[in-house]
Structure 1
Amino acid sequence: MKPQLLSFLATSLFMLGFQSITAESFTTGGFTYTTTSATTASVTAESVTAGGTGEVTIPATVTYNGTTYTVTGIYDWAFHNKGVTSISIPDACTNIGVGAFDGTTWYNNQADGMVYIGKVAYKYKGTMANDTTIAIKAGTLALANYVFEGCTTLESVSIPNSVTRIGEFAFRGCTALTSITIPSSVTTIGNSAFSGCTGLTNVVIPSSISTINSNVFFRCTGLTGVSIPGSVKTICSYAFKDCTSLNPLNVPSTVTTISVEAFSNVPNVKYSGSATGSPWGASSITY
């Protein structure tokens, strides 16, 4: 089980994008939900009256106070250690938090290897062999938060062009990961997705990405090349912190927002855009 601090951090990051609205919780149909936008909601827990056992079927939409919300996520530890025997989730439910189904009867019955929930790659179960290569199955829509976190023997991953979301902390600490191709279908790369991947040397960010989230490449000390497309408008705090082998990091002028310490300890950044706050922690910056 992850330390409570990590659980708190992941939950905080899960909600980070939704601070502009007032989140509201409600219970209906056996589940407790929290709104995450004006039109979306996530499952936070199974209600006490549901009993915590048997089949779990998450609806595609849920209506509360006259508003219909699309169910897009399941919170950290939502069904942890409950007697869930089967799970069905809608395609839109791609943001699955850490430990959401760990310890359930369903999870305990899964064979070692990649575990999927619907069209989401949930996590790798069991001991991973050295120099492991994994191919995510075709039709997968998302990689869950923490899916490969701490898998220090994972060397490469093949991601199909159906995946739209790479979850928070998805590859954190995968120190042997040397090769990954992010397909053009991916529109979101979660906070800290590749943090601590010290073996990564080159990454091409697809033009489907508009925001590089916080800590995405934090402490990727082996990274010597990153291709940032013109589609990127925002680079969040600490995105490239401690990427000490990036010399230089070329940032396109189309980027208009760069947050605090985005390039902390990067030897050299080349950027000629309009964002304010230079040098954003970089050792040097060339315009």
Structure 2
Amino acid sequence: MGEESFAWRGIHKITLPEGITTIKYYAFSRNCLKNVQLPSTLHYIGDDAFSLNDIESLSFYDNVEYIGCGSFGSSNWQNNLSDGMTIIGKCLYRFTDRNNTIKDVVIPDGVVSISPEAFSNKRILQIYSK
């Protein structure tokens, strides 16, 4: 998916086919998405790829290796990190909920890097590792 491919289009639902490996920055930003299910072939989610939606439910597979800065910003989604993820991008949780509190964060075993500000401006109650 290219940069800003489907941004600002009022999209309520998407079905992404198998075979997609990369979603670039702002690809689905500023829509009306609530539930997102990503294909098993996806490895990379760019910065702000799904920002400014109302995502409540997010499903993806363990082979997602990178989630960029603000990828799911301004959504109610939180704490759905892939077991296969190796990098947590800067500002991943920056705007995930409106009260700036994340109850639990589970860091998958395979994570080798957490960028500065990945959880910026958040009150985290508990952090676990798998």
TM-superposed CA distance for 1:170, in Å, is 0.5
Alignment of 1:39-188 (within 5 A): 143-151=1-9, 153-174=10-31, 176-188=32-44
Does structure 2 retain, via aligned residues, the 8 Å contact 1:192–1:215? yes
TM-superposed CA distance for 1:218, in Å, is 2.2
Give the letter for the 2:104 counterpart.
P
Q: Does 1:262 align with 2:115?
A: no
Name the structure 1 match of 2:64. Answer: 209
TM-superposed CA distance for 1:271, in Å, is 3.2
Q: CA RMSD in A?
A: 2.0
Name the structure 2 match of 1:250. Answer: 106
Classify the secondary structure of the residue corresponding to 1:203.
Answer: strand
String of CA shifts for 1:44-98, please: whole Å, max 9, x gaps: xxxxxxxxxxxxxxxxxxxxxxxxxxxxxxxxxxxxxxxxxxxxxxxxxxxxxxx
TM-superposed CA distance for 1:251, in Å, is 2.1
Does structure 1 retain, via aligned residues, the 8 Å contact 2:90–2:117? yes
- Larger Rg computed on CA atoms: 1
Q: How far apart, in 2, do the equivalents of 1:228 and 1:171 lie? A: 19
Given the superposition, is the C-alpha separation of residues 212 and 170 from structure 1 closer, same or farther in structure 2, using an over 3 Å criterion? same
Given the superposition, is the C-alpha separation of residues 150 and 232 from structure 1 closer, same or farther in structure 2, using an over 3 Å criterion? same
Q: How far apart, in 1, do the equivalents of 2:28 and 2:103 lie? A: 24
Q: How many residues in Structure 1 have an aligned counterpart in Structure 2?
A: 126
Q: How far apart, in 2, do the equivalents of 1:271 and 1:204 lie? A: 20
Following TM superposition, the consecutive aligned residue runs of length 4 or more in structure 1 with deviations greater than 6 angstroms are none
Q: How far apart, in 1, do the equivalents of 2:57 and 2:27 lie? A: 18
Q: Pick from 237, 243, 260 the counterpart of residue 90 of structure 2.
A: 237
Given the superposition, is the C-alpha separation of residues 235 and 258 from structure 1 closer, same or farther in structure 2, using an over 3 Å criterion? same
Give the letter for the 1:155 counterpart.
H
Does structure 2 retain, via aligned residues, the 8 Å contact 1:213–1:239? yes
* TM-score when normalising by structure 1: 0.40
Does structure 1 retain, via aligned residues, the 8 Å contact 2:70–2:95? no
Q: How far apart, in 2, do the equivalents of 1:144 and 1:186 lie? A: 14
Hey, which of these two has a bigger chunk of helix by percent?
Answer: 1
Q: How far apart, in 1, do the equivalents of 2:103 and 2:29 lie? A: 23
Q: Which runs of 5+ in 2 are unaligned?
A: none
Q: Percent identity?
A: 22
Does structure 1 retain, via aligned residues, the 8 Å contact 2:84–2:108? no
Task: Name the structure, 1 or 2, with higher relative contact order (CA <8 Å, separation 6+).
Answer: 2
Q: How far apart, in 2, do the equivalents of 1:204 and 1:172 lie? A: 17
Classify the secondary structure of the residue corresponding to 1:145.
Answer: coil
TM-superposed CA distance for 1:160, in Å, is 0.8
TM-superposed CA distance for 1:196, in Å, is 1.4
Classify the secondary structure of the residue corresponding to 1:157.
Answer: coil
TM-superposed CA distance for 1:212, in Å, is 1.7
Given the superposition, is the C-alpha separation of residues 253 and 162 from structure 1 closer, same or farther in structure 2, using an over 3 Å criterion? closer
Classify the secondary structure of the residue corresponding to 1:180.
Answer: strand
TM-superposed CA distance for 1:248, in Å, is 2.3
Q: How far apart, in 2, do the equivalents of 1:218 and 1:260 lie? A: 16
Hey, which of these two has a bigger chunk of strand by percent?
Answer: 1
